[in-house]
Structure 1
Amino acid sequence: MRAVSDLGFTVEPGTVTGFLGPNGAGKTTTLRMVLGLLNPDAGTATFDGVPYSSLSQPLRTVGAVLETAFHPARSGRNHLRVYCRAAGLPLQRADEVLAQVGLADAGQRRAGGYSLGMRQRLGLATALLGDPAVLVLDEPANGLDPEGIQWLRGFLRHLAHEQGRTVLVSSHLLSEVEQTVDRVVIVGAGQLVREGSMEQLRSGADGAGTVLVRSPEAARLAEALRTDGTGVSLDGDALTVSGRTTAEIGACAFAAGVELHELRSQTSGLEEIYFQLTAGRGQFAAPSAGPVAEETTR
């Protein structure tokens, strides 16, 4: 049994890419291979063409948060300084990144007394120590309150859009991912299910690009729309129309003398698309109709 098979995708600079999949889909295994913690049987994961194990200064190239483990008796500042010494970074970087993640006033406190959200921020600070061009973050929003999640959303987008960094983030908070990311990579059963921008995912989803119409004369409007081959599904006073814009449908209704009560576009959200694509592909999923890693960052 393989945890990941024939998986390949690219994460571009200046973007936040969401890495999604059910439990047991191979997300953590993939991230560990990307960071050189696991060796694939075949294939490579590279950063601008270079495997993690071959990077001359890994911390200055890639910052990662896979687990938020800290010595409970060590302060947040001292935790960061240990990493600074190990990587040959100036010690003042500890204070700089604490300020970046909103922990400047908590740096002297022992990490064992931090809340889960504070530990997540400290993990993010650790990833930023080397001022890396690439960030790989596993569930960075865990434990954050709504204000913290909003801050994280803006922070990640700033790192990518304003500073040109490459950000790969896994999360189970689909509504938050939808508001944060530029692109999405969805995996299931260890394989790539779909990759693309939100617009591309919506255009390929079931029911995407449809218009909902309600009218007391729905059957007559359906007949008028079907004369030119427009796809129409009729259900009582409601029509679901594909391949036509709201303006075109409104014009058709006007020409046919049909009264409209509702006319609106329907677009699939990330949650709906995600469940369409991953049905039956998770570790605990019920049965449903429905060589190893190659990943690149630039």
Structure 2
Amino acid sequence: MGTSPGRREESAIHPGSSRHRDPVRVEVRSLSKSFGAVRAVSDLSFTVEPGAVTGFLGPNGAGKTTTLRMVLGLERPDTGTATFDGVAYPDLPSPVRRVGAVLETAFHPARSGRNHLRVYCRAAGLPVTRADEVLAQVGLADAGRRRAGGYSLGMRQRLALATALLGDPAVLVLDEPANGLDPEGIHWLRGFLRHLAHDEGRTVLVSSHLLAEMEQTADRVVIVGAGRLVREGSLAELRSGAQGSGAVLVRSPEAGRLAEVLGAAGFAVAPSEDGRVTVTGTTPDAVGAQAFRAGVELHELRAETSGLEELYFRLTAGQEQYAAPQGATR
């Protein structure tokens, strides 16, 4: 007896299987897009690697949403390409099984979350059993039969993520998935996305304004400003690239003498009353070597570590679409 189409579809979709674990690389090359006289994206290139969570960051008006829409074939670029292992989204043979995306949340308020997903299953040729599977994945199993119109914003975000997971895709493209989640939900999302990337080998691209959360979630970041690439790489690579404007903190019982020694060696120093000296534009090794030669005793010597938020504001300074005046309090 032959296998029915429905049974073939069901056997092809199995969470945790290795079907989609073949790594898929997303490559954006020289993307540009204008809307009239407004240049939204300009010659933008970056790569999203499999097995990692990549944060997509930038000020309002930086071109993030336009870029994601071009990646997903919803906007036609003026120039450039966006591909999944060399294939543009419109040319993928089965896009829903290759790429899952959430750019906005939209549900019929009278339809249950489960039925919302079942409609998408039928439209995409997926077994309707996937609806219950993905509801369980995102923690909505008990709420699946409730009307989506009664869902909180956080629950709607989870339902949108469940919709993206229906085809068990190798790639996830998510725009602000943490909006509306409470702290527990944000903690869950962080672990869930890292599990999808690290344990299941998926390629995860996440746009977010939650910089502190991205610092804990993302393996790599792509920062854009005014439609152009500002920087991409791991946080360690970004910190290394910003090292020239970093600082070294050193503490000594001879802080005054240490400041003189370092100043004479050409370093920019700023002593403080608590016995600490801040040295900019150098490394701990260089500071330690100068102190050793001068016989100055040190009690503390360390590089000042820049967090993602500090790096972000340093790299995107002056590229905000709406910036408050300096010194504004509200």
TM-score, normalising length from structure 1? 0.89
Give the superposition deviation at 1:79.
0.4
The alpha-carbon deviation at position 209 of structure 1 amounts to 5.4
Match of 1:245 among 257, 265, 284: 284
Query: Which position in structure 1 is the counterpart of 2:74?
Result: 37
1:210 Cα deviation (Å)? 3.2
- Mean Cα displacement is larger for which, 252-261 or 121-130? 252-261
Per-residue deviation at 1:191? 0.7
Which AA in structure 1 matches 2:284? T
Deviation at 1:277, TM superposition (A): 1.0
Question: Deviation at 1:285?
Answer: 3.0
TM-score after normalising by structure 2: 0.81
Structure 1, 173-182 or 274-283: larger mean CA deviation: 274-283
Structure 1 residues 39-188: aligned runs within 5 Å = 39-188=76-225
Q: Determine the C-alpha separation between the residues in 2 that align with 1:205 and 1:252.
A: 23
Q: How big is the alpha-carbon RMSD for the aligned residues of Structure 1 and Structure 2?
A: 2.2
Give the whole-Å Cα distance in 2 for the aligned partners of 1:35 and 1:287: 36
1:2 offset after TM fit, Å?
1.1
Is the 2:52–2:203 Cα contact (8 Å) retained in structure 1?
yes
Residues 256 and 271, structure 2, Cα contact 8 Å, conserved in 1: no
Aligned counterpart for 1:9 among listed residues 46, 49, 58: 46
User: Which residue does 1:293 correspond to in 2?
Assistant: none
Determine if the alignment matches structure 1 residue 269 to structure 2 residue 307.
yes
How far the C-alpha of 1:252 sits from its partner, in A, is 5.9
Count the aligned residue pairs. Answer: 286
Q: Which of structures 1 and 2 has the larger relative contact order (alpha carbons within 8 angstroms, sep 6+)?
A: 1
Q: Which residue of 1 aligns with 2:233?
A: 196
Q: Is the contact between residue 207 and residue 268 of structure 1 (CA under 8 Å) also seen in structure 2?
A: no
Contact 1:63 1:134 in 2 (8 A): yes
The percent identity for this pair of structures is 78
Letter in 2 for 1:234: A
Show the counterpart of 2:269. 233
Q: CA deviation at 1:95?
A: 0.5
Structure-2 separation of matches of 1:251 and 1:12 = 39
For 1:25, give the aligned amino acid. A
> Are the counterparts in 2 of residues 19 and 185 from structure 1 also a CA contact under 8 Å?
yes
CA distance 1:182–1:230, shift in 2 (3 Å): farther
Structure 2 residue identity aligned to 1:199: A
